């Protein structure tokens, strides 16, 4: 890679941009396909309170970052030379979309149970850096791509950790709901058996 940068600095930048675009495109397509496969399943469960409001639902949130990754990937692959000049702004936009997506996931997780306020630190920080990269890029002019890169790394790690925690909590609620349905069925069978015995005694 160093030899390519020395021999063909401009072309290598374009190739790297196209390679990054391909990765964004691939990850976005996988995210969108996973979302549509999950939403077509019939085992989604929704919990309502006494007023009929939804308090828990295992339906996944719309993949905002996935759609943004597909759009960015196409742009990077089709027009890499044009994108290089605006890469900081584009990555800033990805950070904002990612932060919003994380906030939506945290809000959805809050409906399943109590969550720690520490989960909000990462999306708020990523959102602030993304807005700075777009509105006031000179504030991080020293190393904009390095700072954005660290934020993307932070977003990726926290996204994985949060998703694992939310899925574990969701499965716990699903097991609780399944256990509750089994108890209801057992109670109904017991009541039916008692009613049958009473009817036989009466005869």
* pLDDT at residue 95, as a whole number: 82
Q: Is the pLDDT of residue 183 over 50?
A: no
| 7 confidence band (pLDDT: 50, 70, 90) | low
* Mean pLDDT in residue range 2-12: 56
> Three-state SS across the chain?
CHHHHHHCHHHHHHHHHHHHHHHHHHHHHHHHHHHHHHHCCCCCCEEECCCCCEEEECCCCCCHHHHHHHHHHHHHHHCHHHHHCCHHHHHHHHHHHHHHHHHHHHHHHHHHCCCCHHHHHHHHHHHHHHHHHHHCHHHHCCCHHHHHHHHHHHHHHHHHHHHHHHHHHHHHHHHHHHHHHHHHHHHHHHHHHHHHHHHHHHC
Tell which wins on pLDDT, 190 or 150.
150
* pLDDT at residue 107, as a whole number: 82
Segment 15-69, tens digit of pLDDT: 777 887 888 888 888 888 877 777 776 555 555 555 655 545 556 667 777 788 8
Segment 193-202, tens digit of pLDDT: 554 554 455 5
Distance CA 171, CA 35 (A): 18
**Least confident segment among 101-105, 125-129, 151-155, 188-192:** 188-192
Name the pTM for this structure: 0.53
* pLDDT at residue 171, as a whole number: 75
The 10 Å Cβ neighbour count of residue 94 is 23
- CA-to-CA separations, 25 to 11, 14, 31, 35, 78, in angstroms, rounded: 21, 16, 10, 15, 11
Q: Which two tokens stand for residue 48?
A: 């309502």
Distance CA 129, CA 7 (A): 34
What are the domain boundaries of the chain? 1-85, 88-203
């Amino acid at each position: 890679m160093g030899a390519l940068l020395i021999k063909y600095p401009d072309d290598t930048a374009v190739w790297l941009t196209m390679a990054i675009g391909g990765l964004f495109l691939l990850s976005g397509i996988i995210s969108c396909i996973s979302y549509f496969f999950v939403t077509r399943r019939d085992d989604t469960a929704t919990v309502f309170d006494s007023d009929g409001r939804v308090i828990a639902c295992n339906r996944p949130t719309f993949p905002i970052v996935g759609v943004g990754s597909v759009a960015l990937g196409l742009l990077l692959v089709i027009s890499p030379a044009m994108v290089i000049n605006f890469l900081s702004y584009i990555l800033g936009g990805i950070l904002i979309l990612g932060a919003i997506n994380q906030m939506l996931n945290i809000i959805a997780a809050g409906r399943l149970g109590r969550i720690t306020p520490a989960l909000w630190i990462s999306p708020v920080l990523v959102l602030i850096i993304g807005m700075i990269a777009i509105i006031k890029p000179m504030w991080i002019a020293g190393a904009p791509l390095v700072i954005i890169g660290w934020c993307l790394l932070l977003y990726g790690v926290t996204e994985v950790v949060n998703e694992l925690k939310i899925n574990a909590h969701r499965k716990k609620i699903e097991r609780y709901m399944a256990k509750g349905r089994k108890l209801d069925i057992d109670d109904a069978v017991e009541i039916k058996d008692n009613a049958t015995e009473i009817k036989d005694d009466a005869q």
